[in-house]
Structure 1
Amino acid sequence: MIERLQLLVAERERVLGHFLESEQREIALACHSIARAFSRGGTLVAYGVDSAETDAAHVAVEFMHPVIVGKRALPALAPPNDVRGVLRSGDIAVSIAHGAEPAPVRAFREQARHRGALTIALTGGDRVDSDHAFAVPSEDPQVVQEVQETLYHVFWELVHVFFEHPGLLDDACITCGDVAIQARVVAVRNGNAVIEKDGLREEVAVELVAPVDVGDMLLCHAGVALERVE
């Protein structure tokens, strides 16, 4: 029995350590995006079904009721039923699944993107299409849940770190210099592309080069994609 428990603990440590090591940059970028959305009046809307429903509620409570004195209480919801009706442009949509994404959770994420919300997807196994997607590399739903719970506690911690440095939340125009820049598309929403360069993201118009997809490299200037870069 003791040996079995040791193996279970070791597996959890292995998966969590690998996940945090491999996803550290994306975690930081996601927390920056979440903090910016909150600073612009966004509300966090979390959604999961079956066993992930309680995690969605946990995420909302985490942000609404800070455990550290002096930290901001932030607007967050975890409606148990049709959450798509409450989503607005600029909100933060957190979708949670302890394995492959169930149909209702996928519909929530897709509707959130359609409405212009920031999308954060937590799954087990395969990564899904989202502004920030995190897939725990395990087939054990209990291990996936435990890693995800650690992750959304890290979200809360780092979001408040960004609040302590408000200058980091100001709008950044990475295409507003004197010369055009090359940047990769990391998301497509509302007919525009979100590009990323040196850890900064900006939404640009793509009428001149449409259609575009995630992974495309574009030459951009003044908020407009001018041409594709092969």
Structure 2
Amino acid sequence: MTTSDATVELIDRELSADLAAAALALARRFQAGATLWVVSPQWEPHAHHVAVEFVHPVIMGKRALPSVSLVEPDPVAQCRVATRPGDVVLAVASADQPQVRDIMRRAPAWGADTIWIGSGPRPGPGAATHILWVDSDDPMIPATGRFVLMYHLLWELTHVCFEHPGLLQAPAEAGADCADDACVTCSDEGRLAEVVLVSSNPIDGVLVRTATGEERVDITIVGDVEAGDLLLVHGGAAITRIDPREEVPR
């Protein structure tokens, strides 16, 4: 897609493919009962705009999709409270926005997919489930309408997916076919967990939140932890603490 004078390519081939993949994944999440939570600490109007688009059917008679903008001063805390397994968090922000970076790191522990819309230097690989990015250093990009174009296309393509019910069946989750109580492949996987509550008795371990819910884990290996710390959990024990500067596994 280009402007009328064909001097600027607004949506290139790579971004088109990213938009299509994000729309399909989002449609599948909505079909399964997800809510879309939208944050944009730098540009609050974008958060409101995205939420408004999704709660309005793309054409009369089509479904409204649950979407809420989160615009309080601490969007990380808001997302933590609001997000449930299966939801999606969408952020419109630059790659260096600290609150959005923190949300993206924690979302896997909340069981949420993430979509990150922005421009300029890109987030690192795996920083979000889907990255929709304008590769331009122009600081005016967020105000030119290109972000609006991206999330309008995301909204419309999501509705297009609903026109093809066969697409809405998500691929089987890894390990879904495991019939035994303990699967060698699944048991080798470390899971991201966010510390919820630290007990005064170390023997009790700590309460953590993972994509499948809350559970208690042993922290003998990692030592003292605090609420909000991110851990990798394996076999009921925390095996490492994730540094705030590290990317998290997805």
Please tell me the TM-score bracket, short chain as reference: 0.5 to 0.7
Distance 1:57 1:175, change over 3 A: closer
1:106 corresponds to which of 101, 105, 123? 101
In the TM superposition, 1:108-127 aligns within 5 A as 108-127=103-122
In the TM superposition, 1:47-126 aligns within 5 A as 47-50=39-42, 52-81=43-72, 82=75, 83-84=78-79, 85-97=81-93, 99-126=94-121
Give the distance between the partners of 2:121 and 2:106, measured in 1 at CA: 20
8 Å CA contact 1:127–1:134 kept in 2: the answer is no
In the TM superposition, 1:20-35 aligns within 5 A as 20-35=12-27
Describe the SS at the equivalent of 2:8: helix
Distance 1:42 1:190, change over 3 A: farther
- Relative to the length of structure 1, the TM-score reads 0.66
Cα shift readout 1:154-213 (whole Å, capped 9, x = no counterpart)? 11111111111111111323979xxxxxxxxxxx9945xxxxxxxxxxxxxxx8xxx9xx
| Structure 1 residues not aligned, in runs of 5+ | 1-7, 177-187, 192-206, 215-230
| Structure 2 residues not aligned, in runs of 5+ | 176-188, 193-233, 235-239, 241-246
Cα shift readout 1:70-122 (whole Å, capped 9, x = no counterpart)? 1211110002113322111111110111x333112222222323211110011
In the TM superposition, 1:193-204 aligns within 5 A as none
Give the distance between the partners of 1:133 and 1:123, measured in 2 at CA: 8
The amino acid across from 2:87 in the alignment is: D
Residue 159 of structure 1 is matched in structure 2 by 158
Describe the SS at the equivalent of 1:94: strand
Give the distance between the partners of 2:22 and 2:14, measured in 1 at CA: 14
The amino acid across from 2:13 in the alignment is: E
Give the % identical residues: 35
The amino acid across from 1:90 in the alignment is: G
Greater mean alpha carbon deviation, residues 77-86 or residues 141-150:
141-150
Describe the SS at the equivalent of 2:132: strand
Distance 1:49 1:68, change over 3 A: same
Give the distance between the partners of 1:169 and 1:30, measured in 2 at CA: 13
The amino acid across from 2:16 in the alignment is: Q
**Aligned length, in residue pairs:** 178
Give the distance between the partners of 1:148 and 1:190, measured in 2 at CA: 33
Give the distance between the partners of 2:50 and 2:100, measured in 1 at CA: 15
- Relative to the length of structure 2, the TM-score reads 0.61
Runs of 4+ in 1 over 6 A off after TM superposition: 8-11
The amino acid across from 2:64 in the alignment is: A
